[in-house]
Homo-oligomer: A and B are copies of this chain.
């Protein structure tokens, strides 16, 4: 009897939830891949509508992060499709819930890699929501706060999320360049701050792509002497232009000479296979190496612990993006200091995005593709 009642209750609840969910959806459209490594296609889907604490953003720009490509290709494990990538989003607030205080309609707002978290754990309380075990990622995730809906990213026309995870964009910001700050900006700003980089420090930036070129700008702004490491000659002038004092093509071993024990901090943004000890050896005593670039699992670099011992009294740490509070700090700092990514604007078409992916993989992008989402058909 009890079981029957429970079943009835469950069915009623399910129907109610379904009905309720149906009433609370927002039609959206974007560019999705429908299978692993597949092609982009126009895709229509539903998002949860604006709740009491939520804002709705009409997306103006979404940029292409190397990690989007890793997800589309399944480099980091199983993924769910169709997938609308994109966790670097800038747009305009078009609706707000009744409890919202941080935004009003017409404000500019950004979204990065996260759209929600538990709010209760020690990480959330410390402003490090990225480490919350219940964090909801902007795409390729299930949103347990919204009936486990599949989250879809920024290569789309709109997004809804709790105001707490949206970042305020100053009205004076150069909006077409803001989107990459929401991931590439905070992912490099946070470890540079965590390592305590300061004026006069000798800083290395390994990997001079979307992340790396942001890291160079932050470190230079903080007064560090920056050395850039990459595997091509094509970006030498760009590094100097952004304020680096040295550019090292690591494919030419002669250029690495004399660099051991020379750096206070090195940040690895490298998204492919490499030898971490190349950079560990460059650290001075008390130096630090931050790692943010996550290569595919099939070629994940290792640090054998004897290398840590031989290069003792140097510290290594990984870092994931940054918390919401620090993301706001980074965005304000970037806008105030005119620190932006170098971008190439592309239209919101499958062809343009696929071409951009190819160029990123071939190391041909300088430095971030931004999709003009207003051009989405």
- Least Cβ–Cβ distance between A264 and chain B, in angstroms: 13
CB atoms of B315 and A319 under 8 A apart: no
Flag whether A337 is at the interface (Cβ < 8 A).
no
CB atoms of A305 and B315 under 8 A apart: no
Task: Give the CA-CA distance A371 to B261 in the complex, in Å.
Answer: 39
CB atoms of B312 and A314 under 8 A apart: no
**In the complex, per-residue mask of A182-197: 1 if CB is within 8 Å of any chain B CB, else 0:** 0000000000001000
CB atoms of A131 and B317 under 8 A apart: no
Flag whether A145 is at the interface (Cβ < 8 A).
no
CB atoms of B302 and A305 under 8 A apart: yes
Task: Give the CA-CA distance A188 to B218 in the complex, in Å.
Answer: 37
Cβ-closest 7 pairs across A and B: A308-B318, A309-B318, A302-B302, A315-B315, A312-B318, A315-B317, A312-B320
- Least Cβ–Cβ distance between A83 and chain B, in angstroms: 21
Segment from A45-53, A54-62, A233-241, A289-297 that makes contact with B: A289-297
Residues of A within 8 A of B (CB): 122-123, 126, 128, 130-131, 194, 261, 268, 276, 284-285, 288, 291-292, 294-295, 297, 300-320
CB atoms of B304 and A312 under 8 A apart: no
- Least Cβ–Cβ distance between A11 and chain B, in angstroms: 37
- Please name 4 further chain A to chain B contacts, defined as beta carbons within 8 Å, in addition to the given A300-B305, A308-B318, A310-B320, sorted by A numbering: A303-B304, A303-B308, A308-B317, A311-B318
Task: Give the CA-CA distance A128 to B311 in the complex, in Å.
Answer: 12
Cβ-closest chain B residue relative to A321: B312
- Least Cβ–Cβ distance between A301 and chain B, in angstroms: 5
Cβ-closest chain B residue relative to A296: B306
Cβ-closest chain B residue relative to A300: B304
- Which residues of B sit under 8 angstroms from A126, Cβ to Cβ? 285
CB atoms of A122 and B285 under 8 A apart: yes
Most buried by B among A131, A285, A314, A317: A317
- Least Cβ–Cβ distance between A329 and chain B, in angstroms: 16
CB atoms of A309 and B285 under 8 A apart: no
CB-defined A-B contacts under 8 Å, sample of 28: A128-B285, A128-B313, A131-B312, A268-B305, A291-B305, A291-B308, A291-B309, A292-B309, A294-B305, A297-B306, A300-B304, A300-B306, A301-B305, A302-B305, A303-B304, A306-B318, A308-B317, A309-B319, A310-B318, A311-B318, A312-B317, A312-B319, A313-B317, A313-B319, A314-B318, A315-B316, A315-B317, A316-B316
